Amino acid sequence: MTQFGVTHDGFIPKGFDAILSDTRRRVQQMWASLGLTADLSSTSPLGKLIEAVALEDAELWKRLEDFYYSGYVSTATGDSLDLLGDDVGLHRRELFATGTVTLTLTGGLPGRTYLLPEGTVLLAPTLGQTFATTVMAELTAGAPVLPVAVQALTRGSAGNVPDGSITAIDPQYRAIYLDGFGPADVTVTNETDLSGGGAREDDDTYRGRQLGIVRTLWTAEAARQAVLDVDGVVDVLLSDPLGGNDMSQSLFNEFAFGERLFSAERRIGEPYTFDVVVAREFRWPWRTTGSTLGVFERVQNVLDRIRPPGVHPNVIEADHIDVGVRAVVVVERGSDEAALARAIRSRLAGALGDLRLGGDVLYSQVVRTVVEVEGVVDVQRLHLRRHPAAFGRITFGEVVFHTTTVDAAVGQNLLMGPTELPVFRDDANLHDIELVMP
């Protein structure tokens, strides 16, 4: 016999057909005990009444099922998921406001292209808000005006600024990254309002954060989770120099490392550091630039709130490795080659944007991504390419250093070290894509 309600397999609701059948059987038994025969046809008044009651009971079973599953993070939705998050102190985050600004080049030299990289920091001076471009911008004297998508660097409705509020490039960002413009200048303004900052993250994103939260105050996983919750952080790797098996010591295989909290035992009063390798989205600056708080400082602030006394994090930027492709791409006749080249680069940037520290760039994934672009017929002589790592930045773990740009053979993957993050950018000079028509 089918069991309903809370079972070993979860909550099984009782459907309308089962409720109607049980109700009719009980009514027939009751009337039979009185020596009577009940008319339970669908057209009889008693049959209609039984159907109405069964339908109401079926809706009640559905509500009971929703109530049962609202108590579990993996199945709760909406307000129920918010309540579960409140229990562990993890609230649903607001989103970033987005919109478009207009960049205008003045004093540009003929024949020269002025590049504003993705992540150029913009300011709304009167409101104290900062924003970053989400695409690379190319300006010339012949085409000095360009609309560019931007995103607020602070979550929430404060980023929903009205039109005309974003009026400048951050002066310190300009001094560091745009000092080669010479007499040329770039003005910026948003001709429409920015919006979306008041919305909150969807259930799936919020649920994923809840499932990954660590309930302990200070462990390696708790520290990792705290850093991953910082805006702009893509991945994080923690290294405990005193933890693990040290085979150079005479007590190798005799020390109970697994019983220590976060690391090996240290002497009372002795300062202790551990390494935190942080991979970031490059539109967020690593160090504080102007009015924009850097990822480095924000990660340190988060760890300072949870670390025990005497334990100090050594925050290190991961090696962000620019990767590119060299290939001959066969396209359909009559294709717009410039537009198709941009589409290929954009699709590759999206496909490789979810890689993490140590994630290899797979040849098969790149080929599939390129051939899925509308207008592409075939890909030939494809080579994956990478820039060398920043030598000497990270001193632990196995890192493969290269002194020159690496061209992998046809069919070969790009292998990354544990502290390397592959980054595919539209404006990287590694790309050599030749479009040909059959």
pLDDT greater than 80 at residue 304: yes
User: pLDDT tens for residues 11-50?
Assistant: 888 888 888 888 888 888 888 888 878 788 878 888 888 8
Separation between Cα atoms, residue 134 and residue 271, nearest integer Å: 41
Taking the domains of the chain in order of start, what are their residue ranges? 5-69, 98-189, 214-317, 319-436
pLDDT greater than 80 at residue 391: no
195 falls in which pLDDT band (50, 70, 90)?
very high
Could you tell me if 121 and 290 are in contact, meaning their C-beta atoms sit under 8 angstroms apart?
yes
Higher-pLDDT residue of 303 and 248 is: 303
145 falls in which pLDDT band (50, 70, 90)?
very high
**Pick from 124, 189, 134, 121: which is nearest to 160 by CA?**
124
pLDDT greater than 50 at residue 393: no
pLDDT greater than 70 at residue 428: no
pLDDT greater than 90 at residue 396: no
Separation between Cα atoms, residue 78 and residue 362, nearest integer Å: 38
208 falls in which pLDDT band (50, 70, 90)?
confident
Could you tell me if 427 and 136 are in contact, meaning their C-beta atoms sit under 8 angstroms apart?
yes
Average predicted confidence (pLDDT) for the chain: 82
pLDDT greater than 80 at residue 270: no
Separation between Cα atoms, residue 242 and residue 220, nearest integer Å: 13
Could you tell me if 176 and 114 are in contact, meaning their C-beta atoms sit under 8 angstroms apart?
no
Could you tell me if 139 and 116 are in contact, meaning their C-beta atoms sit under 8 angstroms apart?
yes
What per-residue confidence (pLDDT) applies to 133?
Answer: 93
User: pLDDT tens for residues 60-116?
Assistant: 998 898 888 888 888 898 999 999 888 888 889 999 999 999 999 998 888 888 888
pLDDT greater than 80 at residue 210: yes
Q: What percent of the chain has pLDDT over 70?
A: 87
pLDDT greater than 60 at residue 241: no
What per-residue confidence (pLDDT) applies to 189?
Answer: 93
Higher-pLDDT residue of 339 and 149 is: 149
What per-residue confidence (pLDDT) applies to 438?
Answer: 79
**Pick from 402, 399, 379, 389: which is nearest to 325 by CA?**
379
Measured distance between the N- and C-terminal CA atoms of the chain, rounded to whole angstroms: 67
Separation between Cα atoms, residue 189 and residue 340, nearest integer Å: 29
Separation between Cα atoms, residue 321 and residue 422, nearest integer Å: 5
Which of 129-138, 252-261, 268-277 is the least confident region? 252-261
What per-residue confidence (pLDDT) applies to 25?
Answer: 87
278 falls in which pLDDT band (50, 70, 90)?
very high
Mean pLDDT of 144-159: 92
249 falls in which pLDDT band (50, 70, 90)?
very low
**Model pTM score:** 0.66
| Measured CA distances, 231 to 158, 283, 290, 298, 383 (Å) | 16, 11, 18, 9, 34
Could you tell me if 408 and 361 are in contact, meaning their C-beta atoms sit under 8 angstroms apart?
no
pLDDT greater than 60 at residue 341: yes
Which of 6-10, 108-112, 388-392 is the least confident region? 388-392
pLDDT greater than 80 at residue 310: no
User: Token match 């993996």: residue?
Assistant: 74
Which of 13-22, 44-53, 184-193, 235-244 is the least confident region? 235-244
What per-residue confidence (pLDDT) applies to 414?
Answer: 87
